[in-house]
Structure 1
Amino acid sequence: MNCICGLLEGSNDVPKEERKLCLTGYMTDIQSWVTWDGRLTVGLKEGVADLSSRKDATPALKNLISSQSRHNGVIKYLSMAKCGIRQVPTIIFLSDSAFMNPAETVEYLTFYGNNFGQFLVTSERYDSILNATSAKEVFLDPMNVQRRSTWSAGLHSAYFPKLKELDLRACNIEVLDAFIFQGMPYLTALYLGENSISFVDAHAFVGLNSLRHLDISRNREDDPKRILFFESADTLQRLNLQSLDLSFTAVDTRALGNFGTKLERLSVCYTGLFPLKPNIFANTSMKYLDLSGNAEILHEEGVLRGLENSLRVLYVNSIALKSLDFIKGFTKLEVLKASQNKITAISLDVMRTLRSLQILDLDGNRISAWFSKIISTMPKMKLLILVNNNINLITDSVIADIANLKYVALSKNLMVCYCYVRDMYEIAFQNEFRLKDTNITSSSIEDNALMFHTGFSDYNEIITKRRNVTESCFQIHNSTDVSNCFVGDFSTNLTGNFLYLDYDEGNYNCFSMAHAGSISYGEVLPCGQDLRDMRPELILNESRKSFLLLCIPLVLLPILAFIYAFRRNFRYFLITMRNSAMLSLINEKNVVDETKIFNYDVFVSYCNEDRTWVLDQLLPHVEKDCRISVCLHERDFQVGLSILENIVSCMDRSRFIMLIISRRFLLSQWCQFEMHLAQHRLLETRREDLILVLLEEIPRSLRPNTLHYLMLTKTYIVWPRDGTEEREFWRRLKKSLVTQKLKSAENDSLA
């Protein structure tokens, strides 16, 4: 069979600037017969007629039809993409006894990139209503004026008994007339994306009895204020669709909620929708849903009610979520993408109900470290993404909790160099020698095929492109010697089956207080050697002391017993000595200047676990009500300086310091350092510029000596947990802040 082909070798991918962002993907992410720009793919073997980008496409098609007729050939795949035509050519569908009719054989047809935008609108008209006495003229609203498109003239009278998929992307279509597709009884997929559709006639889809997937995505992206208007609110419901893509299209809200009982896949991402009503999906069979990019679309409680036993893939990126409570009890859910939100914690009560969850993506949230089993309560979990959150601490509990995962992503978190960071790194490193990358598939057999969604393929693509820790290490050291990747050999006794999903040496560093800077995970000292991030030369001194202990046990045993009995105080003493040494180095050349000008009124020190309270409660009251300028590390630290330099600089440029004390605060070495620095400043300047706020009562047994001393010498204020005395709390705090500010200003003026 002779073909006129315009096939080019190349990728079937959409250019990066046009890549999909939503669950339903771009058209060519879920179909393989056509490229992103309308060409037929090179893998097609028979019945291929690619006339894409030809300016003589209509005459060429006529010649092809004649040639095919002589050779008894048929056309199954036809492309007339980007040919500069203004309407569908009638020559394609006119039958003649001497020629083959391609409409009778074509199964896949694309007109991508043509200009079908012009349509005729009858002039404003008046209808006459006659009765027995007079005639009355009635003006018809423009929305009801009959519209007639010219682009679809070649479709109206044609019959397509075998057509399965029709591609009309990027054709600048503005109106869908009535009965355009009535001659396509077996069409299963219709692609109308990237057009300028503003009006859909109530009878536009009449005749599409087999339609299962409708794509009207990316309509009027250049003018998001222009909505897609459906003449009839039940247009979509009458189609009995299984898959609907409205991504990046402002939609008439009347059409929403009338999806039909068979709808399984829906994307309304980045459509600018208002909060949806409760139970809007209750009468559907929804399995795959994307609500991303619509702020507070789930604000109303119960929006997803009724989907607990059907929903399998859910995308809810960038919708201002503050928690995951809304998915509690979704037992069939396998993929949850909730990135770029405001989620602060992973709730055990919610997670343990997600018995089928395999992929959890929480990139770009505010989650801090957790200290109990949460991830391991989900028996099928395989992939966890916590990139760009507030995790600064890895413990043995965290490692045990994620031990059975296949992939973990933790980059762009401000990690402190505890030894368990090294343990986690070692586990991932060693696993690369014994584990191979494997794709994650749905537990449902039907979902393992491409079913007009990219829920699993999105993450399998990330897995395919991930970089090994070993590869990066060997490349840096230009060697395959494992010893170059670690300070010492493998040392961890912990186990796990996970690999790093997003390893990049630039994003997997931690901050070492001993080095006063960032180091790689492989340089962190193992837990068996030192729990306090000490230098190697100090380890040698410790080993010599151990030898002396063996030689003179009678002298040292009482001392060891004393140290064990007061081990918490002893450890605190060591931390204090180290912090004092660091402070002496920092302030070695500093001279107290009473006349200095401060950039901020107060520097607030808090741990990441209390970040929500600081941002949602403290900040509005202090900055708006008290008009106090606040210095916060996450917005005011200077980019490029070390954390240590930023802490010292910001404290030095603030009139006074506020410590937000909680039990989590006392577990953070950075917070302890800031508390030592505050005490050092008090002693150095002899100024009353410290405010203590306790978010909870701290028993004496948990108080470090520094905090105990400060609580004995400074009046502090306690946040009322029950909420009954909040007004009194803010009144007292405001009074203290204003008084401190005035007092400081008076001291400065006197100086």
Structure 2
Amino acid sequence: MTDVQSWVDERGKLTERAPRAHKIDVSYQFNAKLGLQQQLEAFSCANSSVQYLSMARSRLLVVPKIFSFTDPCDQPLSDTLVYLTLAGNFFYSRNFERPKFKEQMNATNAMLVPAEVDGFVNEVWSSGFRGVNFQNLRELDLRLCGIRELEDSPFKNMPNLEKLYLGENNIYQINENSFNGVSNLIHLDMSRNYEYNIKEVYQGLYFGDLKVFSKLTRLQTLDLSYTKMQRENLLAIKNLKSLLSLSICQTELKNLEPSWLTGTSIRYLDVSRNHNVFKDKKALRGVRSTLQVVYADDIALSSLDVFENLPSLEILLVSNNEIAAIKKKVAKSLTNLQVLIVDMNRLTTWFRPTMTLMPKLKFLSMRNNNINLISEEMEKDFENLRYIGISGNFVVCNCNARELFLIALRNEKILPDEFIFPINNTGYIESAVYHTGFKDINYLISKRKNVESVCVNSECEKDLNSKSSGKFHLFDYDDSTYKCLLAVEGRNTPFAAVPSCGARTQLGIDDVISDTLNKLYFLVIPLFILPLLIFGYVFRRNIRYFFITMRNSTMLSLINNEDIIDENTIFNYDVFVSYCHEDRGWVLDQLLPHVEVDANVSVCLHERDFMVGLSILENIVSCMDRSKTILLILSQKFLLSQWCQFEMHLAQHRLLETRREDLILVLLEDIPRRMRPNTLHYLMLTNTYVVWPKEKAEQIVFWRRLNKSLLAHKLRQANNDSIA
């Protein structure tokens, strides 16, 4: 959520942003001190001074005592330095004993050391800063230096320091006096600090006193990401009244209290990868009037309730969670939201206005969700958006998918790209540079691929000239991603190749009835017997299926319905798998290793888990009732098995009876509509299903989607069990 400074790169080398006439770079030099002296002697100081200095990755054990060095104009470095980096050196110990000899020799230089410093002396890593006044130093880079502790006042002689970078160290303790003398500090980066104790256990950052930040009265951005934190540390953050940006992603914080940010003015907040950090829906109550950007990626979020009534919120990123829908009252309360990113969640097709309830929404990303149909309500919901992305969803073709694509194609010609900027610019000062929210979104916009015309007939051109409303672009468009499934033919096709909505026949109901009756009279009266025979032959599968259904219904009526399955039921298995004998190899070789081993989901198989001595019917009913989820492995062979069809009927019967929605369909091959029983056709229309891909590269996505669904059912039931 924060950017590295622009004048030095990740390796510690000075960039082109540092003017050549004002910089010295002796990084990666074995004897950087000698190199610095040589460059200072040759430095042209007539109209310039050394403002930028890099001694990164020079094998320094402490901060070197070089700040009294002068240029040819007798200007000491302590007076001229504005930007200093010592990144990547070896300040591993708080203090250590270093031998001092009378003569220090190396291949390039020999110098004499006075006898009185013989023997051993104690030094701290910051010894080079002691006794030196840095009146002009604005930015100090100490990344990746192995620093473990911040002792008292290491930066006290830097009164004008504004930005301090202490990331990627081993800092595990700071105290009240660690930041003495830097009251003008604006940005503090303490991200990625790792330290292990003597038992090789990762220990978190410890604040010796809750007043550690009390002297940082101007601090506006604080980055603690990827640094293990204790909840008590948050009390110290509450004292930062001027704080605008806070990043605490992957800090192992959980279940934040409603008052944890009360009294602050935070606008930019990153809590990503902290599971259950927003378990309390009132966790953001203290910053409702100021919060502008929130990153909440992968925090086990099941709804957006925690973001209700945040009128200043403009960017919300909640990818990799378990959000299935956006509530109406939440959407209405987000009056200034411009960007909503809900990738890798469980959103499905919706049939009521949702996005239009957020009047300022411009950018919507719903990639890799469970949207399997583009409804008319969704198309209307997209009308006022400027950018949408729905790639990665398993969409079944309909004319709305075609219209969505053609509107985006038309807009490529008439609407230029438009970047997104903050609505609330009050006090939008330099600290905003360290937040990448709007920068990230505008980067996606600038790099998007234009939708290309695929019109091959006049009908397409006619659709392009229609008055269909919509101002959006597809920011994630790619030829291979915007395809849908033609259910009748069982193949993928581009959105643009789907028949248009205007191509559907508009017949009145009276015409349809009259035409049907005339055909019936023509066929039935002359040849009454022959049509019945033809009917029986053509629909022999349906007739056979009817009798199977009757038999199964009779068997189902014998099942004891007194045991009601509710949210408090304790299950023995996570999933019951129904499959035919011909698909046994796929189940044993593919499904079990990925589900039982990789996803840790307990599976019930009839050949392994049925109880000896019970009838097959009793075993099927018992195992289904003791399983959280029912998984049907569907193939054409599956439909030929009477027991498999019975299990499919029983699954539907049990789900309707108990009002559960714990059914997952996996298609191992295409099943044409003429071969599908009505029960299966209904289940495929009302349940999201996954298709086993033949291409090995696509199988990774298949297992990820299936395991995610199984784990979601398992987690939801586990929560119910804990409540019970």
TM-score higher than 0.5: yes
Aligned partner of 1:462: which letter?
L
CA spacing shift, 1:257–1:485, aligned 2, 3 Å: farther
Structure 1 vs Structure 2 CA RMSD = 4.5
1:488-567 matches, cutoff 5 A: 490=463, 493-530=467-504, 559=514
Supply the AA of the counterpart residue of 2:56: A
Alignment partner, residue 184 of structure 2: 210
Deviation readout 1:477-516 (Å, 9 max, x if unpaired) = xxxx742899775366522000111112222211111221
Distance 1:48 1:98, change over 3 A: closer
Aligned-partner SS, 2:352: coil
Q: Which residue is equivalent to 1:743?
A: none
Q: Which of residues 25, 29, 33 is equivalent to 1:50?
A: 25
Q: Which moved more, 1:398-407 or 1:148-157?
A: 148-157
Distance 1:389 1:190 in 2: 41
Assess, with a 3 A threshold, how the Cα gap between structure 1 residues 500 and 44 changes in structure 2: closer, same or farther.
same
Aligned partner of residue 24 in structure 2, secondary structure: strand
Moved more, 301-310 or 620-629: 620-629
Tell me which residue corresponds to 1:112.
Answer: 87
Amino acid of the structure 1 residue aligned with 2:226: F
**Contact 2:43/2:71, CA 8 A, preserved across alignment:** no
Judged with a 3 Å threshold, the aligned counterparts in structure 2 of structure 1 residues 274 and 644 are, in CA distance, closer, same or farther, namely: closer
Q: Residues 119 and 148 of structure 1 are in contact (CA less than 8 Å); yes or no, is this contact kept in structure 2?
A: no
Deviation string 1:625-661 (CA, Å, 9 cap, x unpaired) is: 7985468xxx98989xxx9994656666745012245
- Secondary structure of the 2:269 match is strand
Distance 1:465 1:484, change over 3 A: farther
Query: Partners of 1:292 and 1:652 in 2: how far apart?
Result: 49
| 3-state DSSP of counterpart to 1:90 | coil
Work out the CA distance in 1 between the residues paired with 2:342 and 2:67.
51
How many Å separate the matches in 2 of 1:664 and 1:424? Answer: 33
Shift of 1:119: 3.1
Q: Deviations over 1:327-348 (max 9, x none)?
A: 1110000000011111110111
Distance 2:276 2:15 in 1: 41
Residues 70 and 286 (structure 1 numbering): CA distance in 2 closer, same or farther, change over 3 Å? closer
Letter in 1 for 2:276: E
Q: Which residue of 2 aligns with 1:744?
A: none
Residue 455 of structure 1: aligned partner? 437
Partner of 1:257: 235
Q: 1:15 — aligned with what?
A: none
For residues 410-453 of structure 1, what are the alpha-carbon distances to aligned partners after superposition, in whole Å with 9 as ceiling and x for unaligned? 01111110110000010011111112222111113354864321
1:77 aligns to what?
52
Structure 2 residue aligned with 1:316, among 277, 280, 296?
296
| CA pair 448-174 structure 1, distance change in 2 beyond 3 A | closer
SS at the partner of 2:340? strand
Give per-residue Cα distances to partners, 1:174-219, cap 9 Å, x unaligned: 1211110001111111000111112223311110110111100011
**What SS does structure 2 have at the residue aligned with 1:238?**
coil
How far the C-alpha of 1:56 sits from its partner, in A, is 2.8
* 8 Å CA contact retained: 2:195, 2:202: no
Task: Measure the CA separation in 2 of the matches of 1:331 and 1:290.
Answer: 18
Q: Secondary structure at the match of 2:9?
A: coil
Answer yes or no: is the 8 Å Cα contact 2:488–2:673 preserved in 1. Answer: no
1:459-470 → structure 2 map (5 Å cutoff) = 459-470=441-452
Is the 8 Å Cα contact of residues 486 and 522 (structure 1) preserved in structure 2? no
State whether structure 2 residue 41 is matched by structure 1 residue 86: no
Aligned mates of 1:623, 1:676 — CA distance in 2: 37
Cα 1:51–1:557 shift into 2, 3 Å: closer
Residue 336 of structure 1 pairs with residue 316 of structure 2? yes
Of 267, 273, 280, the residue aligned with 1:287 is: 267
CA pair 380-148 structure 1, distance change in 2 beyond 3 A: farther
Residue 456 of structure 2 aligns to which amino acid in structure 1? S
Identify the match of residue 100 of structure 1 among 67, 72, 75: 75
Which range is displaced more, 212-221 or 313-322? Answer: 212-221
Q: For the Cα contact (< 8 Å) 1:360–1:385, is it kept in 2?
A: yes
- The 1:556/1:398 distance shift into structure 2, 3 A limit, reads closer
Change (3 A) 1:229 1:682: closer
Match of 1:40 in 2: 14
Distance in 1, matches of 2:144 and 2:495, equals 49
Change (3 A) 1:225 1:486: farther
Q: Is the 8 A contact 1:118 1:149 kept in 2?
A: no
Cα distance in 2 for residues equivalent to 1:255 and 1:516: 57
Asked if residue 267 in structure 1 is aligned to residue 250 in structure 2, the reply is no
Check if 1:624 corresponds to 2:575.
Answer: no
Q: Deviations over 1:107-133 (max 9, x none)?
A: 1111111111133279xxxxxxxxxxx
Deviations 1:301-322 (A, max 9, x none): 4211121111000111111111
Call closer, same or farther: CA 1:94–1:488 in 2, change over 3 Å. Answer: closer
- Within 1, Cα distance between the matches of 2:122 and 2:316? 44
Cα contact 2:89–2:146 (8 A) shared by 1: yes
Distance 1:426 1:42 in 2: 45
Shift of 1:71: 3.8
CA distance in 2, matches of 1:407, 1:332: 21
Q: 1:41 to 1:102 in 2, by over 3 A?
A: same
Give the corresponding residue for 2:355: 375
Mapped to 1, the partners of 2:587 and 2:270 lie a distance apart of 35
One-letter amino acid of the counterpart of residue 331, structure 1:
P
1:483 to 2:456 alignment: yes
**What is the alpha-carbon distance in structure 1 between the residues aligned to residue 307 and residue 7 of structure 2?**
37
Deviation, structure 1 residue 584: 8.1
In the alignment, structure 1 residue 233 sits paired with structure 2 residue 220: no
- Alpha carbons of structure 1 residues 630 and 184: separation in structure 2 relative to 1, 3 Å: farther
Measured in 2, the distance between the counterparts of 1:500 and 1:340 equals 21
Whole-Å Cα distance in 1 between the matches of residues 132 and 541 of structure 2? 83
Relative to 1, partners in 2 of residues 1:275 and 1:505: Cα closer, same or farther, differing over 3 Å? Answer: same
TM-score (norm 2): 0.69
Matches within 5 A, 1:323-362: 323-362=303-342
SS in 1 for 2:333: coil
- Per-residue deviation, residues 89-123 of structure 1 (Å, max 9, x unmatched): 1022467998321111111111111111133279x
Contact 2:24/2:52, CA 8 A, preserved across alignment:
yes
Supply the AA of the counterpart residue of 1:465: K
Matches within 5 A, 1:61-76: 61-68=36-43, 71=46, 73-76=48-51
Structure 1 unpaired stretches of 5+: 1-22, 123-146, 474-480, 532-541, 564-579, 594-601, 603-616, 684-689, 696-725, 731-751
**Aligned length, in residue pairs:** 561
Q: Match of 2:385?
A: 405
**CA 1:562–1:308: 2 relative to 1, 3 Å:** farther
| Partners of 1:157 and 1:626 in 2: CA distance | 67
Deviation, structure 1 residue 220: 1.5
Please name the residue that 2:711 is paired with. none
Q: Please give the secondary structure, in 1, of the residue aligned with 2:647.
A: strand
- 1:650-679 per-residue CA deviation (whole Å, 9 max, x = no partner) reads 6667450122459999xxx999x9999775
**Residues 556, 157 of structure 1: alpha-carbon distance in 2 compared, 3 angstrom cutoff:** closer
Percent of aligned pairs with the same amino acid: 32
Q: Partner of 1:656 in structure 2?
A: 647
- Counterpart of 1:490 in structure 2: which amino acid? D
Unmatched 5+ stretches in structure 2: 98-120, 519-534, 549-555, 557-564, 580-585, 592-630, 688-716
Q: Which residue number corresponds to residue 395 of structure 2?
A: 415
Contact 1:186 / 1:210 at 8 angstroms: preserved in 2? yes
Shift of 1:233: 2.0
